[in-house]
Amino acid sequence: MVEFQGKMSIVGARYLTMPRPIDPQTGEYSTKFSLDEWKDIQAKRKEQFETYQANAENHLSSWLDDNSDAEITRAYYLDDELVAVFGEDNVNVSNGMNYAMEYRYAQSDGEDLGYSGDQLTRYVENRIEFALRREYGDRLTVKEGPAGTLGTLADYREELFGGDRWPSEENMPPMREIDWDAPSPAQAGTWQGPVALIDTQAFLDIRTMRLETQ
């Protein structure tokens, strides 16, 4: 998964084709859609996803072009492979390392503390590095230096996204294909019985009673 400017991107994500829905009360394939209708629905959704993803890839490429001169101050390596760079003017991008969630929390906490500008940027970066070191331990290596000492974003682009590092379908392991001819759970003898329907009012009554006893 790719993340940049502290946000998750759909670049590198994959559309997961869903198998035919099962009727929870019978264990048979749902009669709401025929097999061909369901396959058509999945094909259209995948096409929409791929269009959206292509736009996201173009946006990432344009962003990398526009910020090519940004000076890098931190480079993150996971198992000796470059996975992210952070730099001046709040430039940050990763390929294979998730930091967006911590970024959002750190940004909010820093603003609550009254930080802004470069001070806020440093606070966020330090929080992210602490979280990543806690998660990855010795697998993570961080190169750090003043602005200008680690080069520009353009210097890291090929190593981060070049060749088979670009997160395209062709550069990922093939996904398991769905066996559209597979028997339903009921036909296969694996059906465990109907799913019990939730009695909404009973659930609310139980929850109310528990709250009253606290």
Percent helix / strand / coil, the chain, rounded to 5: 50, 15, 35
Residue at token pair 């470059």: 82
DSSP annotation string for 100-123? HHHHHHHHHHHHHTT--HHHHHHH
DSSP 29: B
CA 38 to chain centre: 26
How many distinct structural domains can be found in the chain? 1
The range of the structural domain enclosing residue 108 comes to: 2-213
Q: For residue 41, is pLDDT > 70?
A: yes
CA–CA distance, 182 with 179 (Å, rounded to integer): 5
Query: Token match 């990432």: residue?
Result: 60
**118-169 residue pLDDT tens:** 889 889 999 999 999 999 999 999 998 876 679 999 999 999 999 989 887 7
**Cβ-Cβ contacts under 8 Å for 80 (sequence gap 6 or more):** 141
Phi, psi for 142 (deg, rounded to 5): -120, 125
Model pTM? Answer: 0.78
Query: Residue 174: its pLDDT value, please?
Result: 84
| 127: CB partners within 8 A, 6+ apart | 102, 105, 106, 109, 110
pLDDT the model gives residue 153:
96
Rounded to an integer, what distance in angstroms lies between the CA atom of residue 156 and that of residue 14? 25
Residue-wise pLDDT tens digits, 160-206: 999 989 887 777 788 889 999 999 999 988 888 786 666 666 667 77
For the CA atoms of 136, 138, 140, 146, the dihedral, rounded to the nearest 10 degrees, stands at: 130
**Residue 26 pLDDT greater than 60, yes or no:** yes
pLDDT, residue 211, reads 63
